[in-house]
């Protein structure tokens, strides 16, 4: 591992630009409204040594923002701890010959990035340079990054970490509904559902403010069903928990639809009038009788019948999917199977009914709408469709023929690093791929093989340790722009404090680099708002149409829902009330078949391994592992193991357990719990280095979405050692 940054003293916190600034949390796709104020510490009492009094940012929930209604989780409350963190990068860094970081001027660092990338393109062609973006970037930055890749670098190879998060649900939504928006309704509609079925998601820990909506739904007499191999915090609140075999969600959905047909619970009028493809789906699911589905899923026939009756009997049954059902090599088909069930039961498009997907990353929705996916242009236009290319090219003032075609998806992009005819120079913006990617031993090998790597981020994280240049960027409270939350609600991120001297915005960096590539005139903007205005023009007429939006309109309300095609349009909080987004206005059902995972347990690796998130941490942990409060509460990953499996291997709470897959081995501290299947192990993926759960995961890709199969790997227990200290001490 390369050397860390030289020690930098933490800067003092400047005054708030505007006391009581309203903005949004930097973490998940709930995008909770927040209010930022100064909370100065008490002055030293008489006799104490005088010192500089440094105020800190105090973060409260915004009671006027309807999504979180003033509530925040522990990550939101503590987000201010990162703003003046002592490990934050404050000046550009260039890797010296000795492997150590050397401070540099912005001019020198940007000159080096441009010179090295240009040299690579001269030697290997324009396609030899790639860009890797992030779901944390604002809409404006995601838009600029896609424009920069295609105009300044002229490379097709741009993708982002949202490929790991939402791509399967996005592909399924486009296939079935003709549109991809996480929730096609406001989050408040959840309380209207008489039965809410959550598949492969644990929102009480991953989207914690959602608990208020679940509580209200239950207070009104609603039922909750959770499908998950673990009895998560969300499942513990449910009236029915279906502890499905990992990788068997598709079979379960088909089995439930079989029972809906058998019990005459399908809505035939809805299927006839508002959908196509029902006959083919009906024929397919008739091959999924309860006895077969119980064998595949581990769910009893009685539990399946109860589920489908609860969903079908009321007028308002709602299905939500999450990463647990999507991060598989058959993730798209699995989501389609749940959509088939929702459509067959009818009422899709009515408040409290239908189907939705719980997006993960802060701007996971907007980040995939505006051009940082390999196959997409702004507004959800497709880069391979000539008419779509022509529209965006007109906005950019270029010849459509000059735009590259579709590039490699995220895992395929990373797997090509340093390879013949692959990518030799890479720019990473806002993503820690050395922690977040599957099959990390292979990814680390590829990163080491690069000729040049530049990273734009806040910290010298695991990916930056492979980099040649590290460029420091602003944080959420220091920047201006828009985000699009999981409802499709476009909201304003507002500058609350000035960034530290020496730190620049991602947009400024892209503009400066574009100038060095001879495209400076196309990246000159007077403000962030000017970037947004151009983005809106680029989306006009697209599926994700922002053309009627402006900063002024967004600020007049609690955001605007897309599509919003013209300035007089009110936005679209609810989709599908009258029609779906295919040309005929109908939803399309798709027959899908269960198939084995990319890797199934066998005699050598007999245990399922799956990953997920802890309440205290977020994604690759780049930020939350540096928060004193969050790291103090959860300093290391824990391996969840059922008592029966633990007893079989002589494991007690606090033991150090080494588990191995076909790719690597990781040692975890054991947490014994009955809240997991006896054939399954679970660990969170927020840590890097030797604690990285993704050292074990495998990179089999869904054939449509190109999402890797994070949620299923075959492992074995290879070593058990006593704990260094008692588990009780660690807990305290």
C-alpha–C-alpha distance, residues 557 and 492, integer Å: 10
599-615: average pLDDT: 96
For residue 617, give both structure tokens: 């941490």
Into which CATH architecture does domain 607-731 fall?
A: Beta Barrel (2.40)
Mean pLDDT score of the chain: 92
Q: For residue range 75-119, list pLDDT tens digits in order.
A: 999 999 999 899 999 999 999 999 999 999 999 999 999 999 999
With CA atoms as reference, report the closest residue to 14 among 499, 725, 549, 693.
499
Backbone angles phi, psi at 158, to 5 degrees: -135, 130
Helix count and strand count (H, E) for the chain: 24, 28
Q: How many CA atoms lie within 13 A of 7 on its CB side?
A: 1
For residue 492, give both structure tokens: 């304003």
Place 39 in a pLDDT band, splitting at 50, 70 and 90. low
Backbone angles phi, psi at 54, to 5 degrees: -105, 110
Can you give the pLDDT at residue 6? 38
CB atoms inside a 10 Å sphere around CB 478: 18
C-alpha–C-alpha distance, residues 260 and 276, integer Å: 18
Alpha helices in 286-432 (DSSP H): 290-297, 301-312, 323-326, 331-345, 364-367, 386-396, 410-415
For residue 573, give both structure tokens: 């909080």
C-alpha–C-alpha distance, residues 565 and 539, integer Å: 9
- Pairing mode of beta strands 56-61, 489-493: unpaired
- Name the β-bridge partners of 315: none
Alpha helices in 197-322 (DSSP H): 203-206, 211-219, 249-262, 268-274, 278-285, 290-297, 301-312
Q: For residue range 142-158, list pLDDT tens digits in order.
A: 999 999 999 999 999 99
- Name the β-bridge partners of 473: 504
Can you give the pLDDT at residue 55? 52
Contact by Cβ (8 Å): 133, 429: yes
166-185: average pLDDT: 95
C-alpha–C-alpha distance, residues 306 and 241, integer Å: 11
With CA atoms as reference, report the closest residue to 500 among 456, 455, 458.
458
Q: Which helix (H) or strand (E) holds 187?
A: none
579-603: average pLDDT: 97
Can you give the pLDDT at residue 284? 98
For residue 134, give both structure tokens: 């992030």
C-alpha–C-alpha distance, residues 386 and 412, integer Å: 25
Judged against a pLDDT cut of 60, whether residue 726 lies above it is answered with: no
- Pairing mode of beta strands 101-103, 129-133: unpaired
C-alpha–C-alpha distance, residues 559 and 172, integer Å: 26
Can you give the pLDDT at residue 14? 45
> Which segment, 37-46, 368-377, 655-664, is predicted with the most confidence on average?
655-664
Place 368 in a pLDDT band, splitting at 50, 70 and 90. confident
How far CA 34 is from CA of 73, 192, 490, 500, 617, in Å, comes to 11, 26, 15, 22, 19
Can you give the pLDDT at residue 537? 98
Judged against a pLDDT cut of 50, whether residue 9 lies above it is answered with: no
- Pairing mode of beta strands 638-641, 665-672: parallel
545-566: average pLDDT: 96
Which of 121-125, 206-210, 288-292, 675-679 shows the lowest mean pLDDT across its residues? 206-210
C-alpha–C-alpha distance, residues 653 and 586, integer Å: 53
35-53: average pLDDT: 53
Judged against a pLDDT cut of 60, whether residue 10 lies above it is answered with: no
For residue 120, give both structure tokens: 């690579």
Contact by Cβ (8 Å): 454, 428: yes
C-alpha–C-alpha distance, residues 653 and 672, integer Å: 6
261-289: average pLDDT: 97
For the chain, which residues make up each domain, given as ranges?
110-164+367-491+506-561, 168-357, 607-731
Can you give the pLDDT at residue 19? 54
Can you give the pLDDT at residue 89? 96
How far CA 485 is from CA of 176, 190, 732, in Å, comes to 21, 16, 36
Report DSSP state, residue 205: H
338-349: average pLDDT: 95
Signed CA dihedral, 562, 565, 569, 575: sign only:
negative
Q: For residue range 441-485, list pLDDT tens digits in order.
A: 999 999 999 999 999 999 999 999 999 999 999 999 999 999 999
Say how far residue 362 (Cα) sits from the centre of its chain.
Answer: 7
Can you give the pLDDT at residue 40? 58
Backbone angles phi, psi at 55, to 5 degrees: -70, 155
CB atoms inside a 10 Å sphere around CB 276: 14
Place 16 in a pLDDT band, splitting at 50, 70 and 90. very low
Q: Omega into 6 within 30° of 0, i.e. cis? A: no
294-319: average pLDDT: 94
Q: Convert 459-473 to b/e letters by CB count within 10 Å (16 or more is b).
A: bbbbbbbbbbbbbbb
Domain 110-164+367-491+506-561 and domain 607-731, same fold? Reply is no
Contact by Cβ (8 Å): 560, 553: yes
**Does domain 110-164+367-491+506-561 correspond to CATH entry 3.40.50.2300?**
no
Judged against a pLDDT cut of 90, whether residue 41 lies above it is answered with: no
C-alpha–C-alpha distance, residues 376 and 389, integer Å: 10
The CATH superfamily label for domain 168-357 reads Dimethylsulfoxide Reductase, domain 2 (3.40.228.10)
CB atoms inside a 10 Å sphere around CB 541: 14
Judged against a pLDDT cut of 70, whether residue 360 lies above it is answered with: yes
User: What's the chain's Rg over C-alpha atoms?
Assistant: 25
Contact by Cβ (8 Å): 417, 132: no
Contact by Cβ (8 Å): 684, 668: no
- pTM greater than 0.75 (yes/no): yes
Can you give the pLDDT at residue 405? 96
Contact by Cβ (8 Å): 337, 250: yes
């Amino acid at each position: 591992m390369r050397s860390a940054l030289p020690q930098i003293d933490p800067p003092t916190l400047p005054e708030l630009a505007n006391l009581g600034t309203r903005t949004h949390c930097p973490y998940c796709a709930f995008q909770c409204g927040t209010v930022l104020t100064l909370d100065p510490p008490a002055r030293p009492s008489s006799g104490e040594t005088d010192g500089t009094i440094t105020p800190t940012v105090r973060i409260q929930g915004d009671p006027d923002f309807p999504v979180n209604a003033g509530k925040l989780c522990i990550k939101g409350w503590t987000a201010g701890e990162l703003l003046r963190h002592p490990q934050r990068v404050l000046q550009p860094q260039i890797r010296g010959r000795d492997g150590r970081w050397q401070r540099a001027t912005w001019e020198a660092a940007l000159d080096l990035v441009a010179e090295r990338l240009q040299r690579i393109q001269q030697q290997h062609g324009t396609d030899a340079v790639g860009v890797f973006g992030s779901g944390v970037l604002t809409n404006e930055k995601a838009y600029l990054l896609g424009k920069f890749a295609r105009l300044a670098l002229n490379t097709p190879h741009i993708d982002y970490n949202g490929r790991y998060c939402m791509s399967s649900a996005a592909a399924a939504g486009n296939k079935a509904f003709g549109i991809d928006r996480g929730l096609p309704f406001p989050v408040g509609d959840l309380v209207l559902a008489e039965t809410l079925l959550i598949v492969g998601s644990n929102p009480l820990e991953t989207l914690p403010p959602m608990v208020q909506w679940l509580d209200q739904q239950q207070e009104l007499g609603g039922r909750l069903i959770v499908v998950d191999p673990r009895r998560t915090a969300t499942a513990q609140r449910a009236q029915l928990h279906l502890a499905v075999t990992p990788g068997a969600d598709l079979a379960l959905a088909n089995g439930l639809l079989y029972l809906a047909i058998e019990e005459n619970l399908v809505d035939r009028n809805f299927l006839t009038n508002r959908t196509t493809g029902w006959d083919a789906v009906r024929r397919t699911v008739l091959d999924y009788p309860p006895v077969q589905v119980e064998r595949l899923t581990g769910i009893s026939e009685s539990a399946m019948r109860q589920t489908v009756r609860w969903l079908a009997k009321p007028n308002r049954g709602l299905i939500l999917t999450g990463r647990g059902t999507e991060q598989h090599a058959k993730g798209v088909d699995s989501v389609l199977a749940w959509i088939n069930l929702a459509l067959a039961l009818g009422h899709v498009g009515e408040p409290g009914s239908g189907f939705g997907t719980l997006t993960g990353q802060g701007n996971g929705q907007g980040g995939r709408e505006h051009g940082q996916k390999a196959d997409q242009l702004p507004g959800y236009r497709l880069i391979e469709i000539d008419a779509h290319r022509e529209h965006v090219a007109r906005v950019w003032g270029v010849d459509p023929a000059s735009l590259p075609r579709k590039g490699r998806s995220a895992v395929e992009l990373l797997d090509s690093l340093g390879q013949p005819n692959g990518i030799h120079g890479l720019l990473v913006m806002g993503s820690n791929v050395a922690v977040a990617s599957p099959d990390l031993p292979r990814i680390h090998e590829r990163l080491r093989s690069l000729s040049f790597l530049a990273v734009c981020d806040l910290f010298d994280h695991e990916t930056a340790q492979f980099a040649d240049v590290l460029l420091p960027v602003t944080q959420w409270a220091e920047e201006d722009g828009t985000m699009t939350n999981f409802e499709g609600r476009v909201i304003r991120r507002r500058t609350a404090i000035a960034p530290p001297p020496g730190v620049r915005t991602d947009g400024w960096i892209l503009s400066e680099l574009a100038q060095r590539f001879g495209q400076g005139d196309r990246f000159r903007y007077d403000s962030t708002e000017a970037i947004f205005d151009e983005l809106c023009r680029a989306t006009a007429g697209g599926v994700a149409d922002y053309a009627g939006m402006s900063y002024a309109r967004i600020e007049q309300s609690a955001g605007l829902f897309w599509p919003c095609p013209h300035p007089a349009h009110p936005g679209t909080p609810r989709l599908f009330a009258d029609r779906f987004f295919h040309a005929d206005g109908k939803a399309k059902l798709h027959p899908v078949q269960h198939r084995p995972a990319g890797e199934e347990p066998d005699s050598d690796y007999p245990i399922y391994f799956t990953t997920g998130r802890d309440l205290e941490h977020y994604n690759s942990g780049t930020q939350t592992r540096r928060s004193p409060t969050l790291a103090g509460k959860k300093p290391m990953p824990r391996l969840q193991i059922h008592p029966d499996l633990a007893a079989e291997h002589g494991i007690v709470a606090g033991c150090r357990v080494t588990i191995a897959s076909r790719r690597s081995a990781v040692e975890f501290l054991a947490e014994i719990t009955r809240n997991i299947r006896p054939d399954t192990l679970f660990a969170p993926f927020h840590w890097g280095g030797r604690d990285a759960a993704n050292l074990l995961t495998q990179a089999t890709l869904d054939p449509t979405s190109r999402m890797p199969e994070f949620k299923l790997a075959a492992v074995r227990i290879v070593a058990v050692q006593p704990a260094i200290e008692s588990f009780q001490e660690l807990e305290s």
